[in-house]
Amino acid sequence: MRRWHNGLMRLLAPFWSRATYRGWIWAILGGALMMPYMMVGAVTYNWWYPDSGFAGLLEPIVFVAVLPLVAATSVLLPDREIERTAARRLLGARFETPVDDESWNSRWRTGCWFTLHAAVGGVLSGITLALVPFAIYLLIAGVGGSEPLQAMPQGLAPRWGLLFGPLFLALLLWLVAATAGGMRRLAPVLLGQSSADRLAGARAEAARLAARNRIARELHDSVGHALSVVVVQSDAAARLIEADPAFAAKAMAAVGETARGALAELDTVIGALREDGGAQRVPQHDLGELESLAAECGVEVELRVSGDVGALSRLASREAYRIVQEALTNVLRHADRPEAVVELDVGGGLARIVVDSPSARPARSKRNGRGLIGMGERAAVVGGTVRTGREDGRWLVRAAIPLEDTTGKAEDGHATARSADR
């Protein structure tokens, strides 16, 4: 019983659904769009058949003949947004406006929609004009019961008009509802974004996210590293300012130097955010400055370098520098003792980096591992890998960086590194 009830309700839903009547209005608007073309067709038909008058308006052949004219003029529509607004408001269609509305791809698809709107609207408007008065005539005849129904099969009593009148109106409503539903599903295909638009949008979003990830890594690696050094050096200066004033002064001088460097790098990142060329004002660090990094990072570093560091591409050298910098920052923040061994071996098409430090203290917060993710992303940018983890009571960071970019792209938002939370 419930299934039967649900089926009946779905069958009768078009009668009280606003979507049906809004779709009807949409169809009547299409009929209005079709009328000027039908007038041109009727005049042409009258020219061929002078005795026809304006009977051409009712000729199906005229309707079919003017459709190519509708299609030809639809490509030149000055404002295609009108059709989109009508589809959204009257049909309830949901779609995004094409990125380039002036492209021929967008024009021909909108032209197809306009042609369909005029054709479908013309047919439904004609059926409405014919069927609604006829249904009313049947109802009036059925109520009177005396007027013969010329349009009914011979032998049927006028009272049958009480059945056929509402039936014809119901059939018209179901036809309108079905047409509106079909056009609603078709609207995103012809009026919305094409596959090329969606692909371009996806690429733009991927580029935007990649840029955000790059800027986040720069902030984390440069400013985060500098702040870690500032915190450690200032704490040491505060503890020893009375016992060892010379060391405290040296520590505070290092704090100032580090802070100035951080400000310069922050200006670089802000310039990149504003897209004003600021990223070019400050040179990017690379492995050529590895000794300076080891001396200023606040960690006692034993540096071992072998091979030709200059063999790395500029991008690979920058990313390798940042990986070492982040590894030393982690040593400064987490290791039992601020000391590390940094090995750099360049050869065989790879730059192999190992940062060996005492095992990290237990994490004081669950928000860890962001720097490790950043190291993996930096390696992935140039087709390299990063592995991190504890071995024999030591914390090791191992990176393999190709001398040349093997990815064919400057940025990648996905890391290929296998890293353990630190």
Are 169 and 135 spatial neighbours (Cβ–Cβ below 8 Å)? yes
**Token couple for 8:** 């009946």
Beta-bridge partners for 386: 399
Beta-bridge partners for 387: 398, 418
Are 401 and 353 spatial neighbours (Cβ–Cβ below 8 Å)? yes
- Tokens 């090329």 correspond to 196
- Tokens 């860890």 correspond to 368
Are 399 and 379 spatial neighbours (Cβ–Cβ below 8 Å)? yes
What pLDDT tens digit does each residue of the chain (422 aa) get? 677 766 667 777 888 889 999 999 999 999 999 988 888 888 887 777 777 666 666 778 888 888 999 988 887 777 778 889 999 999 999 988 887 777 788 888 889 999 999 999 999 999 999 888 888 888 887 776 655 555 555 556 667 778 888 888 999 999 999 999 999 999 999 888 877 777 777 777 777 777 677 667 666 666 666 666 677 667 767 777 777 777 677 767 767 766 766 666 666 666 656 654 444 444 567 888 888 888 877 778 889 998 888 888 888 888 888 888 888 888 877 777 778 899 999 988 899 999 998 875 544 444 445 677 778 878 887 888 999 888 888 888 999 999 876 655 444 433 333 343 34
**Token couple for 163:** 């059945």
Residues 6+ apart with CB under 8 A from 339: 299, 300, 301, 302, 331, 357, 358
**Token couple for 310:** 């200059």
Are 376 and 416 spatial neighbours (Cβ–Cβ below 8 Å)? yes
Structural domains of the chain ordered from first start: 2-193 (no CATH), 203-283 (1.20.5), 286-422 (3.30.565.10)
